[in-house]
Amino acid sequence: MGERKVAVVTGSNKGIGFGIVRALCQKFNGDVFLTSRDERRGRDAVHELEKEGLSPKLHQLDVTDKKSINIIKNFLEKTYGGLDILVNNAGIMIPFHTKEEGNQVIETNYVSVVNISEALFPLLRPNARVVNVSSRLGNFTAFNMKEETKMKFASQNLTVKELTSLVWEYYNLFDCPNFNPKLYIGQFAYGVSKLGLNRLTSILQRNVSADQRQILVNSCCPGYVDTDMSDHKGPLTVDQGADTPVYLALLPADEKSIAGEMVCERVVVKWDERNLQPNPLIKSMVPSMKSLS
């Protein structure tokens, strides 16, 4: 059973995840796994980084497939005997028009992290770091909730199972008669999924804090980055977008001040704080989100 340190970044064959792998290869003293649902695209991404003199490793991973998650779990357990850094970066945001398509956003951005956490958290070694790549749109979604609903999400005793029920319950408000039809269901689902991810982060931190392994779990917004997801309209490069996730992934062993938090540009923000970045998508959703508050 190996003792070498190891990091895993989900959805990292391109975009921000690719930038995170690049930075970790440069800064982390251990093996860094670039994961991709499509092995060919993963190999191409690895070869691109190898041309830069870096040495990422590749493992296939479809975060929406429990079988795929269990395969990488078994591989890490057998090969490394544990896990030191987990960056849950995989996610989608497409302006879907149907409820079924919107469900994919929730499943990929939120439910997959629940499943990965259940599988891989038992492997986390002392002082491990977990980073959930989220979005300020999750904060904005919470900011515009009715106070009664927000209090349910804010409960300090909330379990993962209860949170998952709340995520689906709030997402189903899209069917209410007063929703703004100009709002794409995929955009609304994205905001709800990231709200769920931010709250999941705090619950996971609470759970791991009880076992004295000194594990830190945080979520973060990478900013408005030039990627396929932003239609390449973001002003930030993927390397700039990787800055905060990598900062959290490499927090020193004696760092206790950032735990279970939402972090933007290396600054902690409240999970329901109206802290908007210059993102046209978020600005366009302001009136639509208020219609569901």
How do beta strands 262-264 and 267-269 pair?
A: antiparallel
Q: Which of 82, 85, 107 is nearest to 96 (CA)?
A: 107
- Judge whether 184 counts as a catalytic residue: no
Q: Quote the CA–CA distance of 11 and 90 in Å, as a whole number.
A: 4
Going across the sheet that includes 124-133, the strands are: 57-60, 31-36, 6-9, 83-88, 124-133, 216-221, 262-264, 267-269
* Nearest-angstrom CA–CA distance, 188 and 241: 23
Question: Of the listed 80, 190, 224, 247, which one is catalytic?
Answer: 190
Report strand pairing: 83-88 vs 57-60.
Answer: unpaired
| Angle (deg, nearest 10), helices 99-106 and 185-209 | 30
> What amino acid positions are annotated as catalytic residues?
190
